[in-house]
Amino acid sequence: MTGSFLQRVLAALLLGLCLNAAAAEPTDPCPTPTNVTPQQLVGLWRAEFMGQPHGGTLLLEPHREYAQSLSGEINRDGHRARVAADLEEGEFTLEESADGQRITATWLGDVVDGSCGKEIRGRREGGWDGTLPFVLRKLP
- Indicate whether 79 pLDDT > 70: yes
pLDDT tens per residue across span 22-52: 444 455 689 999 999 999 999 999 999 998 8
Q: 132 and 108 in contact (C-beta within 8 Å)? A: no
Q: Is the pLDDT of residue 86 over 50?
A: yes
Question: Average of pLDDT values for 55-69?
Answer: 95
pLDDT of residue 127: 75
Q: Say which CATH architecture domain 33-138 belongs to.
A: Beta Barrel (2.40)
Q: What is the mean pLDDT of the chain?
A: 85
- Amino acid 16: pLDDT: 46
Whole-number Å distance between alpha carbons of 62 and 68:
8
Mean pLDDT computed over 82-107: 96
Cβ(87)–Cβ(64) below 8 Å: no
